[in-house]
Amino acid sequence: MAKGKKTAIKEIKRINNEIVLINGKEYVIIEDEKNIEEAITMKISSHGNRILRFEDLRRKATIDVKREIKVIKITFTDSHRASRFKKSYDQSIISLSDKEETIAEASSHIKARKIISNFTFKKSPNYDKQSGKTVFYISQEIK
């Protein structure tokens, strides 16, 4: 669907608190709205998120396509390769001696970024002091 294109909603059903089914496709709710089942159109924003519009134009909800995303913690054993990785985020720099572990799974890129910021933001309670030096948190979409 192209940016700015509006799609009429034929069928909408809330599966649970996080997921809604629209025209046969699952979406993750980012910004919820009361009675989301009353949405009449869906539009793609400039950021790539889908915005649901209602009869009352002041109401809107934001959704994103449901994806399977892994949040991975990479710990480099060599600081030189870590600094090269910091500049380019080139996956080929990671070697077998480096430690990779999956720390979480997310259903949208926005949720994955929130998980990563929990470890990289200095004022976060789970802040990792080695983040950006020898430890990196990245997200990978599972195809």
Residue range(s) defining the domain that contains residue 23: 6-65
Looking at residue 97, its pLDDT comes to: 93
If asked whether residues 52 and 12 sit together in one domain, one would say: yes
If asked whether residues 60 and 74 sit together in one domain, one would say: no
The answer to whether residue 18 is domain-embedded is yes
If asked whether residues 81 and 112 sit together in one domain, one would say: yes
If asked whether residues 79 and 17 sit together in one domain, one would say: no
Cα–Cα distance for residue pair 21/11, rounded to 1 Å: 8
If asked whether residues 61 and 77 sit together in one domain, one would say: no
The answer to whether residue 96 is domain-embedded is yes
If asked whether residues 39 and 61 sit together in one domain, one would say: yes
The answer to whether residue 37 is domain-embedded is yes
If asked whether residues 32 and 77 sit together in one domain, one would say: no
If asked whether residues 57 and 89 sit together in one domain, one would say: no
The answer to whether residue 56 is domain-embedded is yes
Looking at residue 3, its pLDDT comes to: 62
Which of 30, 4, 106 has the alpha carbon at shortest distance from 20? 30
The tens digit of pLDDT for each residue in 70-81 reads 999 999 999 999
If asked whether residues 57 and 111 sit together in one domain, one would say: no
**What does pTM read for this prediction?**
0.76
If asked whether residues 57 and 83 sit together in one domain, one would say: no
Looking at residue 112, its pLDDT comes to: 92
Tokens of 65: 């396509």
DSSP SS3 for 103: strand
If asked whether residues 129 and 90 sit together in one domain, one would say: yes
The tens digit of pLDDT for each residue in 8-62 reads 899 999 999 889 999 999 999 988 888 899 899 999 877 777 889 998 888 889 9
Res. 6 pLDDT band, cuts 50 70 90? confident
Looking at residue 73, its pLDDT comes to: 96
Residue with tokens 């054993």: 77
Looking at residue 83, its pLDDT comes to: 94
The answer to whether residue 1 is domain-embedded is no
Residue-by-residue DSSP string for 20-73 = EEETTEEEEEEE--TTGGG--EEEE-TTS-EEEE-SSTT-EEEEEE---EEEEE
pLDDT over 70 (residue 4) = no
Buried b (16+ CB within 10 A) or exposed e, 40-74: eebbbeeeebbbbbbeeeeeebbbbebbebebbbb
pLDDT over 80 (residue 2) = no
Vertex 129 angle, CA 125 and 131, to 5°: 105
Tokens of 101: 């572990």
Most confident region among 33-37, 109-113, 131-135 by mean pLDDT: 131-135
Cα–Cα distance for residue pair 77/92, rounded to 1 Å: 15
Beta strand 41-44 pairing with 25-31: unpaired
